[in-house]
Amino acid sequence: MVSDKLAKLLILQDRDARHGQLLRQRESIPAEREKARASIAAEEARRKENADALTRLEVEREELEGRVEDLEEAIRKYQTQQLQVKKNEEYGALEHEIATARAKISETEDEELNVLEAIDHKAVANRRDEEEIAERIRVFETELKRLDEAEREVEAAIETGRDAVKAAETDVDPALLESYRFVKTQVKRPPYVVALNDGRCGGCHLKVSGEIESGARKGHDVVRCDNCGRIVYFQR
Ligand SMILES: [Zn+2]
């Protein structure tokens, strides 16, 4: 049992703590939201990377195809020249050029086949990846919706909590409320009002002086721990 005055102060402390907890909860939401957004951006980057890799292969294939067309065009030119030359060695030189170009065409077409194969593999891999990417994005988007909802809920709870704190404050003895507010500015972490346990402060866990202990035992209004400054009370 504690005195009526103290009981009212403890109610205030409880509501204060709850309110503080809600404020921290709200504060953590933007970082969580940022994390989900960054995850979505990472998935989208992966999707783009996949698409770009496929495009690069397609460009490569087009280049090889263009090279084959150029070589075919060169062969047709050599063949036309062959019709016009008079000397055998000139004809032979053109024949050699044509053979070289044909070898290059065959080489390029082999390369093109390899690239075509790579395109097929990449397309299959991209489709498989895309399913996973889309699924993960869905999960993060759901998380974002959940965070919006959580934020709305916590905002409402903060409003209600603030009213509850104000109501509790009006119930507390003014002098005691002033001390409580002062202690809040002095002590880093709640709780600010703690029971003595075996002569030890329930906040810093150090033994208080005999004077403090007896003051608390007598039920004096404001008795503070001589180590940490918290308001201490004796629990009967
Ligand atoms: Zn203490």
**Amino acid 168: pLDDT:** 97
Token readout for 168 is 């509790």
**Amino acid 220: pLDDT:** 82
Q: How far is the CA of 44 from the centre of ligand 1 (A)?
A: 53
Q: How far is the CA of 202 from the centre of ligand 1 (A)?
A: 7
What protein residues have CB closer than 5 angstroms to ion ligand 1? 201, 203-204, 225, 227-228, 230
**Amino acid 160: pLDDT:** 97
Q: How far is the CA of 204 from the centre of ligand 1 (A)?
A: 4
Q: Where are the domains of the chain?
A: 26-155
Query: Which DSSP helix (H) or strand (E) runs through 39?
Result: helix 4-84
* Local confidence pLDDT in tens for the 236 residues of the chain: 688 999 999 999 999 999 999 999 999 999 999 999 999 999 999 999 999 999 999 999 999 999 999 999 999 999 999 999 999 999 999 999 999 999 999 999 999 999 999 999 999 999 999 999 999 999 999 999 999 999 999 999 999 999 999 999 999 999 999 999 999 999 998 999 999 999 999 999 999 999 999 999 998 879 999 999 999 999 87
Q: How far is the CA of 170 from the centre of ligand 1 (A)?
A: 27
**Amino acid 235: pLDDT:** 84
- CA separation, residue 32 to residues 44, 119, 149 (Å): 19, 38, 13
Q: How far is the CA of 228 from the centre of ligand 1 (A)?
A: 4
DSSP conformational letter for 164? H
Q: How far is the CA of 187 from the centre of ligand 1 (A)?
A: 10
Q: How far is the CA of 174 from the centre of ligand 1 (A)?
A: 23
Query: Which CATH architecture is the domain 26-155 placed in?
Result: Orthogonal Bundle (1.10)
**Amino acid 102: pLDDT:** 98
pTM (whole model) above 0.75: no
CA-derived radius of gyration, the chain: 41
CA–CA separation, 74 vs 112, rounded Å?
19
Handedness of CA 221, 222, 225, 228 (dihedral sign): positive
Q: How far is the CA of 177 from the centre of ligand 1 (A)?
A: 19
**Amino acid 236: pLDDT:** 74
**Amino acid 2: pLDDT:** 81
To 5 degrees, how large is the angle CA 127–CA 129–CA 135? 105
CA–CA separation, 94 vs 85, rounded Å?
9
